[in-house]
Structure 1
Amino acid sequence: MTRRPPTLSDVARRAGVSYATADRVVNGRAGVSEKTSRSVHAAIEALGYVRNVAAANLSQQRVYRFGIILPAGSNAFFRRVQALFDEAASRLKADRISLSIESVEAFDAQALTGKMAALAEARMDGVAVVASDDPRTTAAIAELRARNIPVVTLVSDVPSSQRDAYVGIDNVVAGRTVGRLIGMAHGGRAGRVLPVVGAPSARDHAERLSGMREVLGSAFELAPVVEGRDRFELVETLVREALSRDPEITAIYSAGAGNAGLVRVLEALPPGTARPYVFLHELVPHSRRALEDGLIDVIIDQRPEEEVARVVEHLTLLADRRALLRTDPIVPTIFVRENLPQEPAGALERAG
């Protein structure tokens, strides 16, 4: 005869508590002493009780409420990410998942932490955030966790914080990859690389440059770093000035956004001018056009569709206090002109 699985009533009897108290412990609600909580958990382990999350959610008519915080502005990559979250929000309503998609100005730690505090007050079931590596951000993540709200960092990690998980590529490895590609492009010759970042506080940008430096070695010099704040008009101005005053630059590595400005500089080079080798991140309409037209050489894409899917998966599992299915970094795709995928229908060319 098959033995029936243990129920929550069995757990309550073994622990010597009421069903309501056992239910509070299993579902992580407050109002139970530490001693009682230990007794319930001991009973769970002894009986091999497994919480039926789907049944519990159905009986409670639970709706998952997740907050997503993305950078605002002209960044084409994050516009793409927001569009993907918007699509997911519409699709996931049938699964009782509600996504609240918020935006703040890029690299504005005060605005970001203010938004995180608002989501903490709203008692979200989980928060995903593109975070800067700033003490205020770390404190805001700690406050969310103190309220038992899971936190997932997206694209740029804050490993020193109490975040539950990171979703994105390994940015150091991405930088090393670019370093290897720069060396191959130069064919053993020395070179001078112009790095372009959004801001020093953007950990993903800093890690990409660090990885590149590890691989390049002494044969390459680095020009002063351009800090474009991920704004295409500022990137355009600063890169044009850098190329004008430093004709020895042989390669450009844009570790951030604002690359529509970089493309404009390359388009405006006088006929017959030997352009630098150019490596940048994210397959968006303007970077695709530049690759097709031979203005740039390589795009490193972090597969935003996979990132959005993993964020929703992670937040749902964390809200249910279950183990994450995948914690490995997303493997980026390297695009050259010859392996570009078919352009999505309705893609629009915008600055970013």
Structure 2
Amino acid sequence: MGNPTLHDVARAAGVSYSTADRVVNHRGGVAEKSVLRVRKAIEDLCYQRDIHAANLSRRRSYAFRFYLPRGDHGFFSVLREAVEAQARQRLAERIRISIHDVPPLDAAALASELSGLRKGDCDCVAIIGSDAAALCAEVARLEALGIAVVTLVSDAASDARSVYVGIDNVAAGCTAGRLLRLAHGRGPGLVLPILGSLASRDHRERLIGARDVLAEPGREIGLLAPLEVLDRPETMQEKLAAALSAGQTISGIYSIGAGNRALIALLRQMPGPRPFVILHELTPHSRAALEADLVDAVIDQKPQEEVALALQAMRSIADHLPVAATEVSPSIFVKDNLPASATNPSLDTE
């Protein structure tokens, strides 16, 4: 016998085709005893639902929304470009993707934007948020309405959201810590971490990972209190300039978030040997800095792959299917292994 069809399921369950179809496609309106018979027939026959065929027959379409931070943050610009590219590519699959701007690192503003959503407005949303109470409450409200929430880049509202797509940020921080230890050999050192905000879970977890590795016994590598710069170049300029002129010999810098144009500018002006520097995200600006020997390593979370995985997860959720793996393995770039680039990056733009 070939692959069982929905007609076979209906026949085995003793129900009409339309009843079996309603059960398989989660449309409700079927008596519980009939639902149980259909489910048993599905199990007995090992029936596999053909999602693509079902969607074509019903002219099924999907509506997905991405709430992305706006501004000149290099990584979020790359992420936005990846979403825009996917939006063009997925039109043939009847997937409508819209992008909605929100301020960076502003959980209250994101929660306010989400509060306007009502049942049926879309199938799923992707957000980059934090564990702020107002945002967690909005995520729970959307999930209760049947609008699934995918957290991207930084996990949030883990008790309420459907799935997180991104890197293991603690592991990424551990990787940065390991690179810093290698750079110091067996000598002492003093590392300055810079982040956007401790309220951002991804920044906080990266700091935890780096701190754990640097605290391992055997080497005297100290970790200064982190500078919070809110991913703003002007804040980075002010706070980092003060830290570099405070009289301490900083041997390593771990920039966990953004605002790195100011960091690069200060490094370029430093007299004598500079600290060992690790950044996150391969943007045109960080790439140019690597090529100019102004930074030493970049940990990249591959935003194109991240967006593709997010859309795969969103579609699976909308189709009531299990979600496949959603963890991204980051890449470590140094000057010598940079991928080919179609652009000519400049240190003056991010």
State the TM-score, normalized to the length of structure 2. 0.91
Separation of aligned partners in 1, 2:128 and 2:31: 36
SS of equivalent to 1:267: helix
Separation of aligned partners in 1, 2:266 and 2:347: 17
Match of 1:77 in 2: 75
Asked whether the equivalents of residues 291 and 298 of structure 1 are also in contact (C-alpha less than 8 Å), the reply is: yes
Separation of aligned partners in 2, 1:303 and 1:169: 9
Asked whether the equivalents of residues 280 and 299 of structure 2 are also in contact (C-alpha less than 8 Å), the reply is: yes
TM-aligned CA deviation for residue 349 of structure 1: 6.0
TM-aligned CA deviation for residue 135 of structure 1: 2.5
Match of 1:304 in 2: 303
SS of equivalent to 1:118: coil
- Describe how 1:109-128 pairs up with structure 2 within 5 A: 109-128=107-126
Q: Which runs of 5+ in 2 are unaligned?
A: none
Separation of aligned partners in 2, 1:264 and 1:157: 31
Asked whether the equivalents of residues 74 and 232 of structure 1 are also in contact (C-alpha less than 8 Å), the reply is: no
Asked whether the equivalents of residues 300 and 335 of structure 1 are also in contact (C-alpha less than 8 Å), the reply is: yes
Do the aligned partners of residues 349 and 33 (structure 1) sit closer, same or farther apart at CA in structure 2, a change above 3 Å counting? farther
SS of equivalent to 2:64: strand
Asked whether the equivalents of residues 74 and 231 of structure 1 are also in contact (C-alpha less than 8 Å), the reply is: no
Task: Find out whether 1:187 has 2:189 as its counterpart.
Answer: no
Asked whether the equivalents of residues 189 and 222 of structure 2 are also in contact (C-alpha less than 8 Å), the reply is: yes
Deviations 1:32-86 (A, max 9, x none): 4555533432332233222221111111111111111111222110011101111
Task: Find out whether 1:139 has 2:113 as its counterpart.
Answer: no
Asked whether the equivalents of residues 176 and 211 of structure 1 are also in contact (C-alpha less than 8 Å), the reply is: yes
TM-aligned CA deviation for residue 338 of structure 1: 1.7
- Say which is worse superposed, 10-19 or 146-155, in terms of deviation: 10-19
Separation of aligned partners in 2, 1:291 and 1:214: 26
Do the aligned partners of residues 286 and 12 (structure 1) sit closer, same or farther apart at CA in structure 2, a change above 3 Å counting? same
Asked whether the equivalents of residues 232 and 351 of structure 1 are also in contact (C-alpha less than 8 Å), the reply is: no
Deviations 1:139-183 (A, max 9, x none): 222222223333221111137323332221111111111111111
SS of equivalent to 2:150: strand
Separation of aligned partners in 2, 1:265 and 1:232: 11
- Say which is worse superposed, 313-322 or 173-182, in terms of deviation: 313-322
Do the aligned partners of residues 322 and 248 (structure 1) sit closer, same or farther apart at CA in structure 2, a change above 3 Å counting? same
Percentage of identical aligned residues: 46
Task: Find out whether 1:106 has 2:107 as its counterpart.
Answer: no
Separation of aligned partners in 2, 1:223 and 1:259: 19
Q: Which runs of 5+ in 1 are unaligned?
A: none
State the TM-score, normalized to the length of structure 1. 0.90
Separation of aligned partners in 1, 2:308 and 2:268: 36
Do the aligned partners of residues 66 and 304 (structure 1) sit closer, same or farther apart at CA in structure 2, a change above 3 Å counting? same
Asked whether the equivalents of residues 172 and 207 of structure 1 are also in contact (C-alpha less than 8 Å), the reply is: yes
Do the aligned partners of residues 55 and 350 (structure 1) sit closer, same or farther apart at CA in structure 2, a change above 3 Å counting? farther
Task: Find out whether 1:22 has 2:17 as its counterpart.
Answer: no
Match of 1:318 in 2: 317
Task: Find out whether 1:231 has 2:232 as its counterpart.
Answer: yes
Match of 2:275 in 1: 276
Match of 1:338 in 2: 336
Q: In structure 2, give the amino acid aligned to 1:236.
A: Q
Separation of aligned partners in 2, 1:167 and 1:75: 20
Asked whether the equivalents of residues 297 and 333 of structure 2 are also in contact (C-alpha less than 8 Å), the reply is: yes
Separation of aligned partners in 1, 2:317 and 2:98: 17
Separation of aligned partners in 2, 1:306 and 1:340: 17
Aligned length: 347
Asked whether the equivalents of residues 214 and 221 of structure 2 are also in contact (C-alpha less than 8 Å), the reply is: yes
Q: In structure 2, give the amino acid aligned to 1:26.
A: V
Separation of aligned partners in 2, 1:236 and 1:230: 11
TM-aligned CA deviation for residue 318 of structure 1: 2.0
Q: In structure 2, give the amino acid aligned to 1:81.
A: L
Match of 1:48 in 2: 46
Separation of aligned partners in 2, 1:348 and 1:42: 62
Separation of aligned partners in 2, 1:350 and 1:9: 64
- Say which is worse superposed, 129-138 or 248-257, in terms of deviation: 129-138
Separation of aligned partners in 1, 2:345 and 2:19: 54
Asked whether the equivalents of residues 119 and 145 of structure 2 are also in contact (C-alpha less than 8 Å), the reply is: no
Q: In structure 2, give the amino acid aligned to 1:305.
A: Q
Task: Find out whether 1:295 has 2:294 as its counterpart.
Answer: yes
Asked whether the equivalents of residues 74 and 351 of structure 1 are also in contact (C-alpha less than 8 Å), the reply is: no
Do the aligned partners of residues 36 and 240 (structure 1) sit closer, same or farther apart at CA in structure 2, a change above 3 Å counting? farther
Separation of aligned partners in 1, 2:347 and 2:62: 35
Match of 2:171 in 1: 173
Asked whether the equivalents of residues 285 and 350 of structure 1 are also in contact (C-alpha less than 8 Å), the reply is: no
Q: In structure 2, give the amino acid aligned to 1:293.
A: A
TM-aligned CA deviation for residue 15 of structure 1: 4.3
